[in-house]
Chain A
Amino acid sequence: MVQLSERVRRRSRPREGWAGWLYTAPALLIFSVFIIGPTAYTLYISTFHWNTLNPSMSSFIGTDNYRQLFQSTTPDFLTSAGNSLYYCAAMVIGGTALSLALALLLQRGGRLLSAGRVAIFAPHATPIVATSLAWVWLFNPQFGLIDLVLKHLHLPTPQFLFSSSWAMPSVIVYSLWHEVGFTVVLFLGGLAVTSGELSEAARVDGASPWQEFWHITWPQLRPVTLFAVVITSITSLQAFTQFYEMSRGGPAYATTTLSYLLYQEAFVLFDTGYGAALAVVLFVVTAAFTLLQRRLGDRIAADL
């Protein structure tokens, strides 16, 4: 139906010439000045041994910055890419599954469940700078509440943000707490427009709740899921504030993701050319990731 009308429109409506450019101009102007221009500049300086303080003292080195990415000592690029992937996978898989489960739990229903929706959304409406501090205190291995409770229960007490194996999970727990509110709302929206008739029919046919979900509800949620997955992967690949506030990339590089490494090179060590090369690579990784997900989404759609 939609496709049909689309085709009708394509045929009957003339090209609108400059109007399209006019309507997109305000947004494109802002993007050009503050994002696209500086990105081109970044691409340019990534081929230099760049001196931010005095650009006239920069020297052209071609692809050396890129080559250095893969030879660099500490933390090497691949380790950081691995950390990014770790975080991203946990947020995309864990976050999506958790959001979907929460949305199924909280959909429709009365006052109580509506209050539950508010509670889960609340963390998302707080700035990371403010609430990550609270989680740093909760995770404190000497004075923190979690440590104290574990001790009371005679359970082992990991060092959380000070342990290279626990630091990343700790940041992920915080990030899930902060982010799922938004994806839950997306899924609630998706569930609201799923066809009640199909579900009803399935139930009449004697389908179990699980079968009903798997064969009826889930396929209808595909577009929302894809949207949530794409948005979550982009935001997690670029996530920075929680790492800055909670672990500063440590300990021993355990939470140095690509975007944190980028911050450190570009903003702390002022190795600007190298930082620029990293930024370009991060951009390519993000774009590739997004395209891959769309492809996969289409493939799955075709299979169904």
Chain B
Amino acid sequence: MTLAGPTARRPRGALRRTVAVLIALAFLFPFYYVLVTSLNSASQSSTLADLLLPHWHWENYARAWAAAPWPRLFLNTVLIGACTVVLALATSLLAGFAFGVMRFRGRGLLFALVMAVMMVPGTVLIIPDYIIATDIHWLDTYWIQIVPWGASVFGIFLVRQFFLGLPAELFDAAELDGAGRFRMLWSIGMPLVRPAMLIIALQIFLASWNSFLWPFIMTQDPNVQPVEVGLAAFAGADGTDYPGLAAAVVFTTVPVLAFFLVLQRHFVTGAMSTAGGVRG
């Protein structure tokens, strides 16, 4: 690629790179702004220099750190997210395989039902679900934060599309070999849908990480609450402590962000092969 007419392409390449860098900086700027805010004092006069340059008020971090049991909340977030991902991947794989490969009575109806689930506005479910959670004694537990999110329409849909895109002979051949259905899914289907699984895992984890109204209502005990609840509570209680809030945003967001950025390459590759599997 680099060999093909390097001289002709260079100017356009340079322009493209410059534009890309500018856009990337624009996208990253809010992160920088949070970082600077977390290091400035609450009530300094606001000039451009004050807003854009850090003043190294590290005590903001100490204050924010003391406001909630962050390590525990963080552990909860990771645990809830990881378990939700594992559960949702399992249910998506099974259901997606069934919808994509198997033929059974009522398949169309069930699939329509699954798609309809995605369109239900979540807010209205909170009170009925709260009553259900109370009845099955799941209030203030990890279960109520994991199981209801352990099935994903997005995941089922993506896996199904992926299987639809694969040549059917693959599975026919396996059946002739006498392999069981599950074995067929595990040994042939699973490796092929792995890229889609990565994207699903990403979406499920982000959704779990993003949720706050749900855990807010369903839990009361900091021993099981995720970090976003701590953050929202901190924002509600000390709404005017911007630097402290910014500090809390930094130390709650950076670890997960770093994790994703390290893995980002895999996600893009995953999406690239997934998008190949998406056939309207």
- Do A and B touch each other in the complex, judged by CB within 8 A? yes
Contact with B along A262-304 (1 / 0, CB 8 A): 1100110000100110110011001100100010011001000
B140 cross-chain contacts in A, Cβ below 8 A = none
B116 cross-chain contacts in A, Cβ below 8 A = 287
Question: Quick check: A135 and B90 within 8 Å, CB to CB?
Answer: no
Given contacts A9-B172, A27-B94, A192-B275, contact A177 B30 (CB under 8 A): yes
Among the stretches A17-25, A57-65, A71-79, the one at the interface with B is A17-25
| Chain A min CB distance to B27 (Å) | 5
Contact with A along B98-134 (1 / 0, CB 8 A): 1100111111001001111111111111111100100
Question: Quick check: B125 and A9 within 8 Å, CB to CB?
Answer: no
Choose among B128, B242, B268, B280 the residue that contacts A226 (Cβ–Cβ < 8 A): B280
Question: Quick check: A267 and B126 within 8 Å, CB to CB?
Answer: yes
Question: Is there a chain A Cβ closer than 8 Å to B71's Cβ?
Answer: no
| Chain B min CB distance to A6 (Å) | 6
A-facing residues in B8-54 (Cβ within 8 Å): 16-17, 19-21, 23-25, 27-28, 30-31, 33-34, 37, 46-48, 51-52
Residue picked from B20, B52, B99, B175, most chain A C-beta under 10 Å:
B20
Question: Is there a chain B Cβ closer than 8 Å to A128's Cβ?
Answer: yes
Contact count A vs B, C-beta below 8 Å: 298
Question: Is there a chain B Cβ closer than 8 Å to A88's Cβ?
Answer: no
Given contacts A188-B272, A189-B271, A189-B276, contact A290 B48 (CB under 8 A): no
A143 cross-chain contacts in B, Cβ below 8 A = 46
Q: Which residue of B lies closest to A15 (CB)?
A: B103
Judged by DSSP, the binding face of A is helix
Question: Is there a chain A Cβ closer than 8 Å to B274's Cβ?
Answer: yes
Question: Quick check: A192 and B276 within 8 Å, CB to CB?
Answer: yes
B115 cross-chain contacts in A, Cβ below 8 A = 290
A276 cross-chain contacts in B, Cβ below 8 A = 124
A13, B30: Cα distance in complex, Å = 55
A301, B280: Cα distance in complex, Å = 10
B129 cross-chain contacts in A, Cβ below 8 A = 34, 38
Question: Quick check: B99 and A193 within 8 Å, CB to CB?
Answer: no
Question: Quick check: B132 and A185 within 8 Å, CB to CB?
Answer: no
Question: Quick check: B114 and A6 within 8 Å, CB to CB?
Answer: no
| Chain A min CB distance to B14 (Å) | 11
Q: Which residue of B lies closest to A8 (CB)?
A: B168
Question: Quick check: B124 and A30 within 8 Å, CB to CB?
Answer: no
A259, B122: Cα distance in complex, Å = 9
Question: Is there a chain A Cβ closer than 8 Å to B194's Cβ?
Answer: no
Question: Is there a chain A Cβ closer than 8 Å to B188's Cβ?
Answer: no
Question: Quick check: A130 and B228 within 8 Å, CB to CB?
Answer: yes
Judged by DSSP, the binding face of B is helix
A120, B154: Cα distance in complex, Å = 22
B242 cross-chain contacts in A, Cβ below 8 A = 137
A154 cross-chain contacts in B, Cβ below 8 A = none
A188 cross-chain contacts in B, Cβ below 8 A = 268, 271-272, 275
B181 cross-chain contacts in A, Cβ below 8 A = 16, 19
Question: Quick check: B104 and A148 within 8 Å, CB to CB?
Answer: no
A-facing residues in B234-280 (Cβ within 8 Å): 235, 242, 245-246, 249, 252-253, 256-257, 260-261, 264-265, 267-268, 271-276, 278-280
Choose among A5, A34, A129 the residue that contacts B167 (Cβ–Cβ < 8 A): A5
Given contacts A26-B94, A129-B212, A234-B118, contact A116 B23 (CB under 8 A): yes
Question: Quick check: B276 and A193 within 8 Å, CB to CB?
Answer: yes
| Chain B min CB distance to A237 (Å) | 8
Question: Quick check: A275 and B124 within 8 Å, CB to CB?
Answer: yes
Choose among A21, A116, A130 the residue that contacts B231 (Cβ–Cβ < 8 A): A130
Question: Is there a chain A Cβ closer than 8 Å to B225's Cβ?
Answer: no
A100, B156: Cα distance in complex, Å = 25
Question: Is there a chain A Cβ closer than 8 Å to B192's Cβ?
Answer: no
Question: Is there a chain B Cβ closer than 8 Å to A207's Cβ?
Answer: no
A37, B124: Cα distance in complex, Å = 12
Given contacts A41-B128, A135-B30, A226-B280, contact A185 B212 (CB under 8 A): no
Q: Which residue of B lies closest to A142 (CB)?
A: B46
| Chain B min CB distance to A275 (Å) | 6
Question: Quick check: A113 and B17 within 8 Å, CB to CB?
Answer: yes
Question: Is there a chain B Cβ closer than 8 Å to A145's Cβ?
Answer: yes
Q: A2-B165, A34-B125 are in contact. List 19 more A-B contacts (CB 8 A).
A: A8-B172, A13-B172, A24-B98, A34-B129, A38-B125, A42-B124, A122-B261, A127-B210, A127-B253, A129-B231, A143-B46, A145-B48, A189-B271, A189-B276, A193-B275, A226-B280, A244-B213, A272-B127, A283-B121
Residues of B within 8 A of A (CB): 1, 16-17, 19-21, 23-25, 27-28, 30-31, 33-34, 37, 46-48, 51-52, 90-92, 94-95, 97-99, 102-107, 110, 113-129, 132, 147-148, 150-151, 154, 156, 164-165, 167-169, 171-172, 175, 181, 203, 206, 209-210, 212-213, 228, 231-232, 235, 242, 245-246, 249, 252-253, 256-257, 260-261, 264-265, 267-268, 271-276, 278-280
Jot down 16 A-B pairs with beta carbons below 8 A, ordered by A: A9-B172, A24-B94, A30-B148, A33-B148, A34-B147, A39-B120, A119-B25, A125-B256, A125-B261, A127-B210, A129-B212, A130-B231, A137-B33, A186-B271, A189-B272, A223-B280
Which 8 A-B pairs have CB atoms at the shortest separation, nearest pair first? A20-B104, A189-B275, A9-B168, A119-B24, A38-B128, A23-B98, A279-B124, A192-B272
